[in-house]
Amino acid sequence: MGNHMSSTFASHWKKLRSGRVRLLWLVLGAMLLISTFPMALYHRQVLQMSQDKLVDTEGVQQTELTRSLADEINLFDSNLTQQLISQRQILALTDMVQNVDDPTVAAKVTQLLENLVDSNRNTFLYLTAIGRSGKGTSAAQGSFHQEQDPFINKALQRAFSACQQPQTLKYRSDPLALGSSNSPAFIVAVPLKVGDDFAGMLAAVVTLEPVMRRLKETSVRGRTVFIVDHSGHVVAHPSGNDVVPGVDLSEQSSIVGQIRSLPQELRTTVNMRFFQKERNRAVEMIGTYSTLPDINWAVVAQRSLDQAREDAGVKELNRQALLFMLVVTVVAILVGYFFAVGISDPIRGLADSTRAISAGNFRQRTEVHGAAEISELAETFNKMAGDIEEYIERLKEAAEENRELFLGSIRMLAAAIDEKDPYTRGHSGRVAKYSTLIAQELGMNETDLDRLKISALLHDVGKIGVDDRVLKKPGALTAEEFELMKQHTVKGANIMRPVSQLKDMLPGIELHHEHLDGRGYPYGLQAHQIPLMARIIAVADTFDAMTTNRPYQTAMDTEFALGKIKGLAGTKFDGTVVTALENTIQKGKLKLTAVEVQV
């Protein structure tokens, strides 16, 4: 029982794969549509709502995070600036502000700077007071020496030049990368003045390590938080060596590119979705930035949408829903399959019978079973099949009679042509037979064989229009007479051309005297310009002419005639056709007899 069900299922599955069981597909499709489409639609809506909620939640979190960090950075910047201003006031109260480059006060100034560095080890790496002469004193943390870093020296020189400008109240450099670890830093400076006169500069190399720690603390679960300046250059990034301070991200990141296009004085927080290229693929991102117009920076937080979905469990929800839909789909397929089989079996029988009749098996009948409507359809089909079979048989008989009548007419016409010359009696029939044998050796199909046979029978039909004086002349023809004889090919084609059923036979009639080397007639065609039909008839015609008695020659034996024809292969005759003739003779299919050959 189990094996029978298994084989039945395998049989139905094979038909299903071949595309024959259309009703089965229809029923299965309906079952799937009813069972899974509403679930799929509901699932899609739930996922869309979950994703929208996820994006909103992530946007709120990023907004709070970037605003909080922006406030912290503003406070950080305000504190360090205030400390520099306080230090400047101390220098002013001690009357050292105007001569910080004086060696006599260098020790006191250095002590003040060292005290400030010691009390701000998390902020100041290096502190210097420079007089208007460009010289001064400094203090640094541990092993930090600004002389070892040419970038810091150049940045300090730019700060000194900026502080000399009357409108400069405070100067902040572009982001710097310190040491082999590319630690983020920048230089902040305030001018030293006596009244309105420039007296020097108080500058500090400020480390952003406290800010970096906050960026790393907040860059969790696929979220990246970093700081860029208004030009799109990195100020601090949690990736450290991978993204060095000062690198321009405006071309790589859409969100940074948007920051660059904002007015510098604008304070804003913006959420956005964008695509970012990662590992040669576009990744959809959720991002937020908060600007700090006071220091021309912006805090950026971004996260890939896929990572956000995974953290929120959206992917797991999607997998569970898809698994449930898969189970429902399988059940729907099984139920629909067995339901459809009972309906589709009788219809498949009708379809099989229809295909059999279409293929020519008019004796095919279908079993009558199933519902009343299907049984009635089967009975009607069987009656129709019987009527068609009877009608086809009558058509075949009529077609065979017409074919025999047609071929008989062709044979009579060919015989009438051959009778004009007693030496050519039976010539057209023999040429038709030889041509057919050669074509069969070449593998020509049945349809082309029929056309070739008729064309060969009619190949000399144009001799009807040739004067008997020329046609029956026992001796050699004069040049003028030969020109008249050559016209029989064109005349034959013109005689047959009005008969539409013979249009495919005309090449053999008109071109069987063309030669491969172009020296034949009537048109001097060469090689493959000559149709295969004409090339076959040319060889068969010549072979029969050589092996029958003519006024100008005695019949040659088979081997001698074949040798002559082989000698003309490649110039007058097609070598492939000549080889086919030789093979036919060697196989014993072509034998010369004294009796007239009928085809």
CATH of the domain at 541: 1.10.3210.10
**pLDDT digit string, tens, across residues 278-288:** 778 888 889 99
Taking a C-beta distance cutoff of 8 angstroms, is the pair 357, 60 a contact?
Answer: no
The predicted structure's pLDDT at residue 274: 87
Average pLDDT over the chain reads: 81
Is 7 domain-assigned?
A: no
∠ Cα 178 181 187 (to 5°): 20
pLDDT cut 70: percent of the chain above it? 75
- pLDDT-derived band at 246, boundaries 50, 70, 90: confident
- pLDDT-derived band at 4, boundaries 50, 70, 90: low
Is 50 domain-assigned?
A: no
The predicted structure's pLDDT at residue 221: 83
* Residues whose CB falls within 8 Å of the CB of residue 369, separated by 6 or more in sequence, listed in order: 346, 375, 378
Positive or negative, the Cα torsion across 467, 468, 469, 473? positive
How far CA 425 is from CA of 417, 452, 465, in Å, comes to 9, 20, 18
Does the pLDDT of residue 212 top 60, yes or no?
yes
Positive or negative, the Cα torsion across 55, 57, 62, 64? positive
Does the pLDDT of residue 597 top 50, yes or no?
no
Cα distance between residue 14 and residue 21, in whole Å = 10
**pLDDT digit string, tens, across residues 140-192:** 887 676 555 778 889 899 999 999 999 989 999 888 888 777 889 999 999 99
Is 170 domain-assigned?
A: yes
**Burial annotation 195-212 (CB, 10 A radius, 16+ → b, else e):** eeebbbbbbbbbbbbebb
Helix (H) / strand (E) containing 186: strand 183-194
The predicted structure's pLDDT at residue 201: 94
Cβ-based neighbour number of residue 578 at 10 Å: 23
Listed residues 148, 179, 207: the one ending a domain: 207
Is 509 domain-assigned?
A: yes
Does the pLDDT of residue 311 top 90, yes or no?
no
Does the pLDDT of residue 8 top 60, yes or no?
no
Does the pLDDT of residue 596 top 50, yes or no?
no
The predicted structure's pLDDT at residue 250: 85
Listed residues 207, 234, 268: the one ending a domain: 207
∠ Cα 571 487 548 (to 5°): 60
Does the pLDDT of residue 520 top 70, yes or no?
yes
| Joined tokens for residue 473 | 């002349």
Is 322 domain-assigned?
A: no
Task: Indicate the pTM of the whole model.
Answer: 0.50
Contacts 24+ apart (CB under 8 A), 27-34: 27/336, 27/339, 27/340, 27/343, 27/344, 28/332, 28/333, 28/336, 28/337, 28/340, 30/336, 31/332, 31/333, 31/335, 31/336, 31/339, 32/329, 32/332, 32/333, 32/336, 34/332
The predicted structure's pLDDT at residue 129: 93
**Mean of pLDDT values over 232-240:** 88
* Residues whose CB falls within 8 Å of the CB of residue 490, separated by 6 or more in sequence, listed in order: 462, 510, 522
Listed residues 207, 239, 265: the one ending a domain: 207
Cα distance between residue 354 and residue 351, in whole Å = 5
Does the pLDDT of residue 371 top 90, yes or no?
no
Q: Choose between 161 and 27: higher pLDDT.
A: 161
Positive or negative, the Cα torsion across 136, 137, 141, 146? positive
Does the pLDDT of residue 476 top 50, yes or no?
yes
Give yes or no for a cis peptide into 522 (omega within 30° of 0): yes
The predicted structure's pLDDT at residue 204: 93
3-state secondary structure of 213: helix
- pLDDT-derived band at 220, boundaries 50, 70, 90: confident
CATH of the domain at 151: 3.30.450.20
**pLDDT digit string, tens, across residues 374-402:** 666 667 767 777 777 777 777 777 767 77
**pLDDT digit string, tens, across residues 425-459:** 788 889 999 999 999 999 999 999 999 998 998 88
DSSP string, 382-416: HHHHHHHHHHHHHHHHHHHHHHHHHHHHHHHHHHH
**pLDDT digit string, tens, across residues 266-309:** 899 999 988 888 778 888 889 999 999 988 999 999 988 887 77
Please give the single-letter amino acid code of residue 149: D
Positive or negative, the Cα torsion across 536, 537, 540, 542? negative
Does the pLDDT of residue 105 top 60, yes or no?
yes
The predicted structure's pLDDT at residue 599: 35
Phi-psi region of 142 (alpha: psi -120 to 50; beta: other; left: phi over 0): left
Domain that holds residue 484: 420-586
Is 390 domain-assigned?
A: no
**pLDDT digit string, tens, across residues 72-97:** 999 999 998 999 999 999 998 888 98
Number of domains into which the chain is organized: 2
Per-residue three-class SS string for 457-504 = HCCCHHHHHCCHHHHCCCCCCCHHHHHHHHCHHHHHHHHHCCCHHHHH
Q: Choose between 33 and 519: higher pLDDT.
A: 519
Is 29 domain-assigned?
A: no
Taking a C-beta distance cutoff of 8 angstroms, is the pair 364, 356 a contact?
Answer: yes
The predicted structure's pLDDT at residue 595: 40
- pLDDT-derived band at 368, boundaries 50, 70, 90: low
Taking a C-beta distance cutoff of 8 angstroms, is the pair 222, 287 a contact?
Answer: no
The predicted structure's pLDDT at residue 18: 52
Cα distance between residue 381 and residue 407, in whole Å = 38
**Mean of pLDDT values over 347-361:** 67
Does the pLDDT of residue 31 top 60, yes or no?
yes
**pLDDT digit string, tens, across residues 119-128:** 888 889 899 9
The predicted structure's pLDDT at residue 302: 92
Choose among 530, 496, 538: nearest CA to 513: 538
Helix (H) / strand (E) containing 220: none
**Mean of pLDDT values over 477-498:** 86
Is 402 domain-assigned?
A: no
Does the pLDDT of residue 572 top 90, yes or no?
yes
**Burial annotation 369-395 (CB, 10 A radius, 16+ → b, else e):** ebeeebeebbeebbeebeeeeeeeeee
Task: Report the range out of 260-264, 323-327, 475-479 with the highest average pLDDT.
Answer: 260-264
The predicted structure's pLDDT at residue 192: 93
pLDDT cut 90: percent of the chain above it? 32
